[in-house]
A and B are shown apart, each in its own frame.
Chain A
């Protein structure tokens, strides 16, 4: 950091300072969100409704009452897991599009363990069902990870295909061996002992949120405070250099994919054990895994960024419900807002250049020491 010179010159300023590079990193997602909300507002206006009423309904839906906040957090919980899942694989240079399929496997296996075992105490049954879901997700991701590591088969293709296998396999199971007798394609309900605790009385808010927050910390610790995390990040930055440096790249790829899958599986498990209490036939992808990609992107692949991005997407998802019922705004508007955020963040290079070119003029001043800068 080149700030030292300036600090010496001007010691009254606080030592902690954000460089312009970092500022731009932080500003891009914020600008993306605001621009997307603005575009959403214009669309709402275009269909003849009031954006203020719409966004008011959105905020009311997410924060209006204890139950609204709980519902918002219920939406946030699986997104934290799937966001972490995708972000973690990104850190290893892998693009895990298979979070959706790992989610499904986690969900159906957790539901299966949850309803099929009887007579177990909660302290055993609940963690057992949850961890089964986690394991199912991990295994579902380990396979494409192994194929990537050993045979070089691209993980994007693999994981997409694994999504479809998971979808139809779950359909096969829920229409067959796991089906509850009756006209509805669903599993029997999960035993009371396997259900996640409801942590806020009078709402559906469940213990999964605590697990998700734990996962944020755990992944942060794993990535940035352990040798494995260091290796994984090294592989992500440059696998050749990592191999040269003595890192077993193949092993790390399989491990990274497994952990990524475990997180997506955890998302499925908390939905089965905390929200639905069973597995209902899916009729198509639910989207938590795909939303996880957007969350990871918006969260800059950092665990804490993921937490913030998941909160935003969860708020939008919850708000979409009340926007429909109170303001009579079609839910697609929220889809457009989310997509716009993703486009802007994904095309951040445009924004970055824009911001940088505006900053170019100041560069000279930076060098002259008149304005603080990153000194790069």
Chain B
């Protein structure tokens, strides 16, 4: 053995020793973590992952609440790529997780495959419907909430032009798009709506680019439904300063730019996750399809909307909300339905 290779062996040995020493330092914590008897709830994110300030974070909020209020032991598994959905769900099944949440329609196939493998455990999926005896599905009427934001935008715009920034042109985003357009049209048919897509969900820079383009075209309020791209939309409004507004999505995004976020279209994924997780604890879990619309408080403008929006507009919003709930308005959820949509005489 040459001296150099001895030397290498020495480095390796030192590394291994340090690694082991480091590893052995905290044995107590593991014991503390093992709390038997508590129910387990978990979620698998889609490729967007935590930290999107939006969809996945909203689900996490619901799960966190289940931990705090119901005593669930919670776990989050983020998916790096699509091929991970199935193994991620299985790894939760293997831990006897009482309810595993699949966040997003991308996980539809995975839930459909994995849920039957664990018939004694329960699964939930957001934004998609899986018909299995142990799966609860939760979908949202995004168009209803977006409609109300469209009303606010149409009433609040000073330039007569508002914008919509979508992520990718997929059906869920179409709901936001169509609903927002319909709301604007109902409240003020003369207001022009710009429509832009970022082509992705995970790129704030791209969101900012599209938003700035719309501001330059005269829009003063931009509603986004583009996941993490929306962070760029909000950033753009903040940068352009007074008179430029962003409207957030999924979670309340006011804190990102309190002076430039007018309202946020809450999609209460947290409510869905919490409510259905609670049913697991109460043993009232049903493998059915839950729909969260305005009537169920599953969608709608966030509580901080009134900070920037005057009361008369809020009253208007309330009026439309009632009309939607009692069926006087059926909000379009696709472009085709939007074409055919004629707002009722207000």
Contacts and interface: CB of A to CB of B under 8 A. Distances in A.
B82 A324 contact: no
A237 interface: no
Contacts of B95: 325-326
A339 interface: no
B240 to A, nearest CB: 27
Nearest to A40: B19
Contacts of A355: 4, 7-8
Contact of B11 (A23, A31, A53, A280): A31
A321 B80 CA distance: 9
Interface string A153-172: 00000000000000010010
Given A283-B201, A321-B84, A27 B2 contact: no
A50 B26 contact: yes
A184 interface: yes
Given A23-B5, A171-B199, A326-B95, A280 B75 contact: no
B2 A271 contact: no
Given A31-B8, A325-B92, A41 B19 contact: yes
Nearest to B203: A284
A43 B111 CA distance: 33
Interface in A263-277: 271, 275-276
A255 B316 CA distance: 67
Interface string B153-179: 000000000000000111110000000
Contact of B12 (A31, A320, A359): A31
A199 interface: no
A340 interface: no
A325 B29 contact: no
Given A53-B30, A171-B199, A283-B47, A318 B2 contact: no
Contacts of A171: 168, 199
Nearest to B100: A325
A330 B49 CA distance: 11
Chain A contact residues, majority secondary structure? helix
Nearest to B20: A52
Given A31-B8, A41-B23, A325-B42, A284 B200 contact: yes
A325 B15 contact: no
A61 interface: yes
Interface string A289-324: 000000000000000000000000000011011101
Nearest to B108: A184
A373 B42 CA distance: 57
Contacts of B47: 283-284
A326 B76 CA distance: 10
A330 to B, nearest CB: 7
A279 to B, nearest CB: 10
Interface residues of A, number: 64
A284 B79 CA distance: 13
B23 A275 contact: no
Nearest to A54: B23
B10 to A, nearest CB: 10
B24 interface: yes
B72 to A, nearest CB: 14
Interface in A27-54: 27, 30-31, 34-35, 37-38, 41-42, 45, 48-53
A118 to B, nearest CB: 21
A320 B80 contact: yes
Contacts of B50: 330
Contact of A185 (B42, B77, B170, B200): B170
A71 B4 CA distance: 39
B166 to A, nearest CB: 13
B87 A71 contact: yes
B86 A204 contact: yes
B43 to A, nearest CB: 11
A337 B90 CA distance: 24
A183 B87 contact: no
A61 B88 CA distance: 11
Nearest to B22: A41
Query: Which 7 A-B residue pairings sit nearest by Cβ, starting from the closest?
Result: A52-B23, A359-B4, A325-B91, A183-B171, A324-B77, A51-B23, A362-B3
